[in-house]
Amino acid sequence: MPRKYSVSAAPAHLTMLDLFAGAGGLSEGLREAGFHSLYANELVPTYAKTFGVNHPDTIVDSNDIRDVDAALVRKRLGLARGELALMAGGPPCQGFSINAPKRSTDDRRNHLFREYLRFVEEFEPRAVLIENVPGLVSFEGGATLEAILASLRALGYAADVQILYAPLFGVPQTRWRTIILGLRDGGNPLEAFPEPIHSAPMRVNFTSRFAGRNIVAMPRSLELPSHTTVQDALGDLPVLGNGETGEYLKKYRTAPQNDYQRVLRAGSEGVSNHEAARLGKINVERLRHIPPGGNWTDIPFDLLPAGMKQARRSDHTKRYGRVHPDGLASTILTKCDPHWGAYFHYDQDRAFTVREAARIQSFPDTYVFTGSRVDQYEQVGNAVPPLLAAAVGRSVSKALGVNVDELTRAV
C-alpha cells in the first residue's frame, strides 16, 4: 500500500500546485523536499488515478486545463493571492522535443505553457517551476523559451533556466531536464537551482547555450562521490524469469545493500509492479548472445531483425542493449522495448519490469502504479525522477527562506 501523507507532514507555508502532473513524479520529489501539493491537474485518467492513490491528500482534477477556471480553484483551496509557495508543472514536451518528428508552432501542445501562466497570474505564488525537455532550448531558435521567461518577468518574477543531468543528483540513468525557476519576491533565481552532489559520465547532444551562455549545470568539485549504478538501484529486487508474474507483493531478494536501496525501501513491506513481460522466443535467443554492456552488434547476423541486418555497426548502439551493472541506464522511456534501447536486465534474461524502471527513475517502492502494464510503463517513463525533483525542491525552499533538510531524504 502507498504511504499515507497528511497535510501536516509539510510546513503550512510550503504549499504547491502541480499542473500537467502525470503520475506524480514531480510532486513526489517536491513532497520529499517538504512541499505539499494541494491540487494537481492531469488530463489522462490512468495517470490521475495513480497520482491520487499515492497522494491522497491532494485534490486531483482530470479535466482539460483549458476548461478549468483558476479563480474557482483558488477559491476552493481558500488561498489568497500570494499565499501559495510554489506553482509547479511540466507542459507536454513532445512538441518541444529534439526527437519529435515535427517541431512546429502549429502543434497546439506547444502553447499549453500559457495555461500554466494563467494559473500563475491568478495565484501569484512566491516561486514557479516549469520542467521540460532539453529541446525546449533550441525550439524556434530559443524564441519559445525566451517567451516563457519574458512572460514570467511580466508577471513580476525574476526567472532563469538551467539544464540538469539526473545522475548528478543520484538518479541512475542518462536523463536531462530543462528547469525554469522564477522568484516573485526578489532574489537571484540562479541561486534557487541545486548544486550537483555526484559525478557522472555525460555527453551533451543537444543545444546547451542560451542567451550567450552554457546553461548545463556542472559539478563544482572533482571530488564528488560517483554516480548511482544500475546494480546499486536493482540489486536487491527479486529474481524473475522471462514472463514470470507471481504474487503482486514480492519479498526482497536481499537486505538493503546501499543507501539508494535503503532510501527507496523506506516504509515498504515488499515489491509491487514487479512482473516480467514475456519476450518472444527469438528475442530470448538474441538476448543470450548479449553480454552486460553489449547491444545488437553482439547478436549473430542470422538472428538479427531484417531491418537491423542493413544497419551499420556504429548505428543504433542502444538497441537490444543489456545494461552494464556498473553503469548508468539509458533514459527510461514509455515502454521498455528492446528495439527502443538498452532495456535488458544485466544478469537476467528479460526486459526491465515496471518496478525496475521505477527504481531507475528513483520512485520509492511504496509508490504504486495503477492501470495495465502498458499504462504503468508510460506513467514511469513520462515522469520527472523524484530524486531530481527533490533536489530542486530543497534549493527552492531555501530560496524561499525555509530549511527543510530534516524533512527530506539524502542520497
User: pLDDT for 2-31, tens place per residue?
Assistant: 433 333 344 557 999 999 999 999 999 999
Element (H, E) at 23: none
Task: Give the side-chain half-sphere CA count within 13 A for 140.
Answer: 14
Alpha-carbon radius of gyration of the chain: 21
**Within a domain: 337:** no
265-305 tens-digit pLDDT: 999 999 999 999 999 999 999 999 999 999 999 999 999 98
Number of domains making up the chain: 1
Q: Please name the residue that has the C-alpha cell 550567450.
A: 212
Phi, then psi, of 48 in degrees rounded to 5? -60, -35
Residue 134 falls within a domain, yes or no?
Answer: yes
Give domain status of residue 352, yes or no. no
Does the pTM surpass 0.85? The reply is yes
Q: Please indicate, yes or no, if residue 98 is contained in any of the structural domains.
A: yes
Cα torsion 44, 63, 144, 38: sign: negative
Nearest to 173 by CA among 320, 361, 45: 361
Residues identified as active-site: 93
pLDDT tens, position by position, 53-104 = 999 999 999 999 999 999 999 999 999 999 999 999 997 643 433 444 444 5
Which stretches within 242-353 are classed as H helix?
A: 259-264, 281-287
Q: What are 229-258's pLDDT values in tens digits?
A: 999 999 999 999 999 999 999 999 999 999
For residue 109, the domain's CATH number is: 3.40.50.150
Residues 102-149: pLDDT tens digits? 445 555 555 687 888 899 999 999 999 999 999 889 888 888 888 889
Domain that holds residue 192: 7-221+384-407
Sequence-ordered list of residues with C-beta below 8 angstroms from that of 241, at least 6 positions apart, any chain: 276, 348, 349, 350
Distance CA 411, CA 402 (A): 20
The predicted pLDDT at position 60 comes to 98
Tell me whether residue 309 is in a domain. no
